[in-house]
Structure 1
Amino acid sequence: MTSADFQSIGKHVPRREDRRLLTGHGRYIDDIDVPGALHACFVRSPHAHARILSVNVEAALEMPGILAVFTGHDLAQWTTKLRMAPPIDGLQPVEMDTLPVAKVCFQGDPVACIIATDRYLAEDAIEKVVVEYEVLEAVATMWRALDAGSPKVDESLPSNLLSHQRSEHGDVEFRKREAFRVIESTFSQHRQTHLPIETRGCIAVWDEGRQHLTFHVGTQVPHPYRTTLAARMRLTESQVTVISPDVGGGFGQKIALYREELSVAAIARHMKRPVRWREDRMENLLASSQSREDFCRTRAAVDANGRLLGLELEIIEDFGAYSFYPGNYLARVVAMILTGPYKVQDYTFDVKVVLTNKVGNGPMRAPMAITSWVMDGTMDAIARELGLDPAEVRRINMLHPEDLPYTMATGEVLADITPRETFEAALAKIGYQEFRDRQQRARAEGRYLGLGMCTVVESTTYGSRFYKSAGIAGSGHEAAWLRIEPSGAVNVSVGLGATGQGYETSLTQAAAEGLGVPPQQVHLHLGHTDVAPYGMGSRGARGGTAGGGTLYLCAQEACAKVLAIAAKLLELPDSASLRMAGGRVQRAEGGEWSDTRLTIADIARTAYLDPLALPEGMSPGLEFHKTYDPPPMTYSNSTHMCEVEVDVATGAIRFMRYLVAEDCGTVLSPVVVEGQQHGAIAMGLSGALYEHVHYDEGGQNLSGTLADYLVATAHELPHFDILPMHTPSRATPAGIKGMAEGGVMGAIGALTNAVNDALAPCGVVVDRQPLTPMYLRELLRDKQERNHK
């Protein structure tokens, strides 16, 4: 089926949720009124690493409105520890208390929870809780963590090396020996945080009579969240309902069950009173999850023409102090998919993940973000070292259409992608040779222009088989239900958790397509574990392929039953000549489709209210449930081109142009896809330019406010020119591929490569981010000083 055959998929429909959200009628956690709710506030450690000697709460309890103060010892009675111990070679098992009992491991670690009648009274009481600490030496960098004599962040482990995996494919050592040159490159990505507009928050309502917890929380994964919450409170899942209303952004930060949220739930049960909590912005910057801090080194064995013969990758990732996820999870995916659009079969990777006295890591939009920068940065390094054109180096190494399907060295299979096509289209659109001529003229005038290229192969679906092959616990399946009501109204649901992706638009288009009704007739229900089917939630750009695909398949099953009923009512032998279109039953006669007298409402009334009129043996009603485990991995692809001008006197970077040629398969909603593309690129550029969670040598967070943790605004970002080149996947329902994270990957690589291209005459190489003016000036000054010696 091509896009022209679709009735609803791919049509330009305004986002359905926008009217509610933009007119102030959204319903977020703070909009939920729970009479009599108490307020929680957390006492946090000022130290990065310290033993807890005592916690004195007496003075706090004497303050007005303060009802209780609970410590880690209290929570340990009411909850179980989090144990992260999947059976993976090289991964150390770890456990975590709900609140620290013996020691704190980062600045901002919660050590006590104050319960008050008012949030502001609770915050005032923080000053009255006296915690006596024995301050310990902090492990503030990944390099210190790897030192044999460094203090242990987790004293139950033999060292700070949380996870270590090595994998060899082919014979890289032989390739290095036969190579014309072995070219080494390094890439350092800085620590960042997700910074959703709506910070973390929750409301716990315990029903003592029913022994039931209703938990309101903004989460991307309602059902897995409920499973974890119930288990850690020693409850069954039947005793817990998780409700996720409108959520003001997640980006991966709202997946895990955090210690504060578990504490609030346990305290509400203990006190038999509703309890609510909302972190402020400083808490979010200091104590919520972080991501991205890693160091990569590649050694590329190449021939004289720049052809890649063999590749070594070394990754060291700073995972922070606590493991909410398996330690190999993020970096291992980078290693598995690193080679992306380039041909190489001799490949070795070594992945080390270490613990430090910082906030624990979690996936952030595009947890494999560094991948494309590393690979295309390596291509640029090859061109630089051998004096070759960087576009030609990419051409000689890039997959061609006839190479597909291509099995990567790690066993991952690339199919139905178009990296060569998007690369050539982007080069043509940007005017590559014209740029090179213009660049030379500008250099003669003392101006430094640069063009960065980055071709992305984005992993999107993460089926169960991928997790298994990667040694990562978890399922990749999704679930959907669809119910056509007696009136013909259509209600649908999937197990995703919406955090601003536009699901109410795109997923209703998928369901409408499968059923053959207008999208306006479909109503989506998300985020309520008593209503939605058990799915794996929103993460890894799986919403379209796993969520939309499952709903599309479920709707097709519903359509088959609708047409079977229609055939009986029309006295036809079968439904082969029938279809649904626009909510009406149509019949093909003489090669033309024409409406019959039947609508979806007619069929629904019959199914529910006149079951004796149904085909023999058919059950009444129109309710359907579908589970679907997508392919091990689905890939989409794109090519990013970024033109910049760098002022060598100040280190300032000015965008001249930004272009993306994108192939993300069948587009459910053009409006949603365009918004996702813009948002992902903006996030990547902002992170590469400004965002930096900065810790000093003592483990103190120096970026605890938005005056210190800078984020790009629309004023700092360029116009994004999107060139759609979509081709469907043959392995997924409706040909959907996904695309929500590739923009981050491409932006990081294209921008950094552009700066290096601009500064090539200066003889410096940018190999770490953020690309601040201070960093660029430091590189240039150091180069000048070396030249003068």
Structure 2
Amino acid sequence: MSAPWSGGAGPRSSGGIGATVLRREDDRFLRGKGRYLADIDVPRALHAVFLRSPHAHADIQAIDAGPALAMAGVVAVWTGADVARHATTLRMAPPIEGLKPVDVPPFPVDKVRFVGDLVAVVVAERPDIARDAAEQVAVTYGQRPAAPGMAEAGEPVDPGLPTNLVSHQTFASGDLRAAFAKADRIVESRFAQGRQTHMPLEPRSIVADWDEGRRHLTVRTGNQAPHPLRSALAARLGLAESAVTVISPDMGGGFGQKIALLREELTVAALARALGRPVRWQEERGENLIASLHAREEALVTRAAVTRDGHILGLEAVMEADVGAYCFFPANYMARVVALILPGPYRIPAYAYDVKVYLSNKCPSGPMRAPMASASWVMEGTIDRIAAELGLDPVTVRRKNTVRDADLPFTTITGETYVDVTPAQTLDAAVKALGYADRRAEQARAGRAGRLLGIGICTVVEPTTYGSAFYKNAGIAGSGHEIATVRIEPSGAILVSCGIMGSGQGYETTLAQCAAEGLGARFEDIAVRIGNTDEAPYGMGSRGARGAAAGGGVVLIAARRMRVKLLKLAAHLLGLNSPESLAIADGKVLRLVDGAWTATDHSIASLARIAHLDPLRLPEGMEPGLHLTAAHDPPAMTYANATHACLVEIDPASGVTKVLRYLVAHDCGVEINPAIVAGQVHGAVAMGLSGASMERCAYDRDGQALAGSLMDYAVARATDIPPIEIIAVNRPNRLTPGGMKGMSEGGVMGASGALANAINDALGRIGGTVTQQPFTPEAVWRAIHQVKPAPRLADADNEGR
């Protein structure tokens, strides 16, 4: 176990951990010099266009590609049968009780399962030719009834299953029966989320190039996990992993949509190999909205057993989730994590959950930034409901039940261990910064004046970095480890690489800072190479918030080990028996003389020249060169935490909700770069507010997608997001190499819950409530006008809340 970074007493590099240095990526991005996939020209490339189903559920009875093949410039038209000859089926069957195995064919052959499902692919010399030819492919369908979702009944979506219930898990711990028998009140709360989609600025795209002479496939695609993608491609195409290279260029967002190998990318790779020419595909926005991964469609009911003074004695949760037509991840994966972490920052002595997951004739679902986002909203909404029914203040109820320092390390009722978390401190910091008592008084005055103000609090405990032990305990094949290499060239130039891949997080900056900290090097002397499976060591990629604790942590470990070698060499050259009196900072070797650090004649550059070009000067037993690889497997789970506070005003005439103030008190452990941390908080909060207030992938009863363009799928603009105040309440994590915890998903979790609680706090003053996200103006307006008779705000004042 590595000790956490503490700053140390010796000299440190100026651009290391904790420094607010400018993101080095931004120079090229802001000048329009980034290289996204569309910017990369591949000679002789063919262009693929997919023909998609207009039906939610139908048999493919016939496909006539003759007219399309007759068009000039058309090279090929493939159907599912053609793809099946070149790629294998995905078998999703982890050994989890209650989870049914499912097969995902590489391409539909006999049946389509959702609007936007694949029917055929046209390959042509130009994209416009391919698009025109796709319109000439004639398909005869036999329509079937569509399964609407979250119901066992109806025709099975997957022909290999008897019903649409694909997963059912239960859990119970503690004496729940006694808790409910002893309770002064049983409080029931309901929550539901509509479907959302990831909406990356850059939709998916790929260029696949088969080199027949070398028998080698090179794939360029924006992907968050290049090495696992390479493994999946090689396995499903029948190739050795050494015969596949995955290169991820600059990527315009991912948010979880660009992790798994999806069928379009698999098909394009198979086409390139079969046709002997590069093939490229660029997803259009409409395709991305209806046929890339969706997320978040869930419904939950909680029942809390509480005492009259607000202590929670027991909690049970019933959850249903809709994962769409196919399972590219284990069907229960996201839902189980929601149920697992639902207790959040609270001491709950008895807990049970019942989680059901259904297939439906909708776009498949997958992880989206904070796939467990509903957990915080549900738990915090339950707390607010408890407070309302007992006539207590919501902050008081939180304080009565919150995990405190004296409880640490704390094992939750589901067996998760919290180490070095600070939920009580972030709650106090947020309440103080908001001026909570004054806001309550302001709310009461506003009510007397006919205005609807609401205060929302949401405390988040965010799982950030999943170690291998988590996957093993969950019965899921996979690893949470990460590997890094640090290489110093003869000139002193430093190359750092690991398996994570950036999609806007600033990894080229933060990984360089971790290397600078560990080595004692200058930040500007370090180059970071990620996203190329031939250059980077095998790693698990970017998902969750593992970039800091796993990626930055393993780079720090590797850099520290390299510094040990450098100092040993420096001590030998200086005639010292040990390097104990030596240090490296900003690339210079320093020596402690009479209590002061004094520069020597050596530097990382001079030591590198000797290590590479004059190995006879090395100490006995030291290998020439400076190339080091380190691996790190994090603890089963690392947790960060935060408290979000939100003040809103609702216009009763229109239902429009305006956020008057928003603040976040957060603890992400050691901050590698405070400016990047702030950017991640801002981005995550914006995503959470957008999803909770306006985003919805709507479907009608027949399974038709109703949000196929940005005219129908609303996403927050910059002007829709309020200023966000950030209060750092950081405590290092003793179990991670640098004390980092991560934090890039907690903002989504907190924003969703804080906004929901603020809206319901305002509506509660007139007897209204909303339980279904998104909380659009229409939904809020209906909640106001469904109150009968609608009480006057002055009569609804309850300053004790």
- 1:589 CA drift (Å): 2.0
Tell me what 1:85 maps to: 93
For residue 120 of structure 1, the aligned residue among 115, 118, 128 is 128
**1:192 and 1:292 in contact (8 A); partners too:** yes
For residue 319 of structure 1, the aligned residue among 318, 323, 329 is 323
Q: Does the residue aligned with 2:591 lie in a helix, a strand or coil?
A: strand
Closer, same or farther: CA 163–608 of 1 in aligned 2, 3 Å: same
**Unmatched 5+ residue regions in structure 1?**
none
CA deviations on 1:177-203 (whole Å, 9 max, x unpaired) are 111111111110110000001100000
Structure 2 CA distance, aligned partners of 1:182 and 1:283?
A: 46
- 1:782 CA drift (Å): 2.1
- 1:676 CA drift (Å): 0.5
- 1:3 CA drift (Å): 4.5
Tell me what 1:589 maps to: 593
Tell me what 2:652 maps to: 648
Structure 1 CA distance, aligned partners of 2:87 and 2:317?
A: 41
Structure 1 CA distance, aligned partners of 2:396 and 2:741?
A: 28
- 1:301 CA drift (Å): 0.5
For residue 64 of structure 1, the aligned residue among 59, 67, 72 is 72
Aligned ranges 1:276-675 → 2 under 5 Å: 276-675=280-679
- 1:784 CA drift (Å): 2.3
Q: Does the residue aligned with 1:766 lie in a helix, a strand or coil?
A: coil
Tell me what 1:107 maps to: 115
For residue 731 of structure 2, the aligned residue among 723, 727, 744 is 727
Structure 2 CA distance, aligned partners of 1:735 and 1:590?
A: 32
Q: Does the residue aligned with 2:678 lie in a helix, a strand or coil?
A: helix
CA deviations on 1:649-689 (whole Å, 9 max, x unpaired) are 21010111001111100011112111101000000000001
Structure 2 CA distance, aligned partners of 1:153 and 1:582?
A: 60
Q: Does the residue aligned with 2:347 lie in a helix, a strand or coil?
A: coil
Q: Does the residue aligned with 2:788 lie in a helix, a strand or coil?
A: helix
Structure 2 CA distance, aligned partners of 1:671 and 1:75?
A: 47
- 1:345 CA drift (Å): 2.3
Tell me what 1:172 maps to: 176
Aligned ranges 1:29-68 → 2 under 5 Å: 29-68=37-76
Would you say 1:146 and 2:152 are equivalent positions? yes
Tell me what 1:707 maps to: 711
Moved more, 171-180 or 225-234: 171-180
Closer, same or farther: CA 3–573 of 1 in aligned 2, 3 Å: closer
Letter in 2 for 1:42: F
Letter in 1 for 2:60: I
Q: Does the residue aligned with 1:95 lie in a helix, a strand or coil?
A: strand
Structure 1 CA distance, aligned partners of 2:598 and 2:646?
A: 51
- 1:328 CA drift (Å): 1.4
Letter in 2 for 1:296: L
Letter in 2 for 1:54: A
- 1:786 CA drift (Å): 9.1
Closer, same or farther: CA 158–582 of 1 in aligned 2, 3 Å: same
For residue 679 of structure 1, the aligned residue among 679, 683, 691 is 683
**Unmatched 5+ residue regions in structure 2?**
793-801
- 1:64 CA drift (Å): 2.1
Percent of aligned positions that are identical: 55
4+ residue segments displaced more than 4 Å: 3-6, 785-788
Tell me what 1:136 maps to: 144
Q: Does the residue aligned with 2:786 lie in a helix, a strand or coil?
A: helix
TM-score, length basis structure 2:
0.97
**1:187 and 1:297 in contact (8 A); partners too:** yes
Letter in 2 for 1:65: G
Letter in 2 for 1:638: A
Structure 1 CA distance, aligned partners of 2:788 and 2:71?
A: 62
Letter in 2 for 1:174: A
Q: Does the residue aligned with 2:580 lie in a helix, a strand or coil?
A: coil
- 1:591 CA drift (Å): 2.0
CA deviations on 1:410-465 (whole Å, 9 max, x unpaired) are 11001101110110111111001101111110000000111100001111110011
TM-score, length basis structure 1:
0.98
Q: Does the residue aligned with 1:733 lie in a helix, a strand or coil?
A: coil
**2:485 and 2:498 in contact (8 A); partners too:** yes
CA deviations on 1:690-723 (whole Å, 9 max, x unpaired) are 1100000000010110010001111111100111
**2:121 and 2:134 in contact (8 A); partners too:** no
Structure 2 CA distance, aligned partners of 1:537 and 1:751?
A: 31
Q: RMSD value over aligned CA atoms?
A: 1.1
Structure 2 CA distance, aligned partners of 1:146 and 1:718?
A: 42
Work out the number of aligned pairs and report it: 784
Would you say 1:219 and 2:223 are equivalent positions? yes
- 1:738 CA drift (Å): 0.3
Q: Does the residue aligned with 1:735 lie in a helix, a strand or coil?
A: coil
Structure 2 CA distance, aligned partners of 1:99 and 1:675?
A: 39
Letter in 2 for 1:451: I
Letter in 2 for 1:40: A
Structure 1 CA distance, aligned partners of 2:121 and 2:779?
A: 41
**1:332 and 1:470 in contact (8 A); partners too:** no
Letter in 2 for 1:186: R
**2:96 and 2:474 in contact (8 A); partners too:** no
CA deviations on 1:43-75 (whole Å, 9 max, x unpaired) are 000000001111110011112211110000001
**1:482 and 1:625 in contact (8 A); partners too:** yes
Would you say 1:252 and 2:260 are equivalent positions? no
Structure 2 CA distance, aligned partners of 1:24 and 1:715?
A: 23
Letter in 2 for 1:160: N
**1:216 and 1:245 in contact (8 A); partners too:** yes
- 1:785 CA drift (Å): 6.3
Structure 2 CA distance, aligned partners of 1:207 and 1:722?
A: 51
Q: Does the residue aligned with 2:738 lie in a helix, a strand or coil?
A: helix
Structure 2 CA distance, aligned partners of 1:275 and 1:717?
A: 40
- 1:232 CA drift (Å): 0.3
**1:309 and 1:346 in contact (8 A); partners too:** yes
Structure 1 CA distance, aligned partners of 2:305 and 2:375?
A: 19
Would you say 1:265 and 2:269 are equivalent positions? yes
Structure 1 CA distance, aligned partners of 2:127 and 2:726?
A: 46
**1:642 and 1:658 in contact (8 A); partners too:** yes
Letter in 1 for 2:775: L
Tell me what 1:198 maps to: 202
Q: Does the residue aligned with 1:604 lie in a helix, a strand or coil?
A: helix
Q: Does the residue aligned with 1:731 lie in a helix, a strand or coil?
A: coil
Tell me what 1:777 maps to: 781
Tell me what 1:75 maps to: 83
Structure 1 CA distance, aligned partners of 2:516 and 2:139?
A: 58
Q: Does the residue aligned with 1:146 lie in a helix, a strand or coil?
A: coil
- 1:787 CA drift (Å): 8.9
Letter in 1 for 2:42: V
Q: Does the residue aligned with 1:124 lie in a helix, a strand or coil?
A: helix
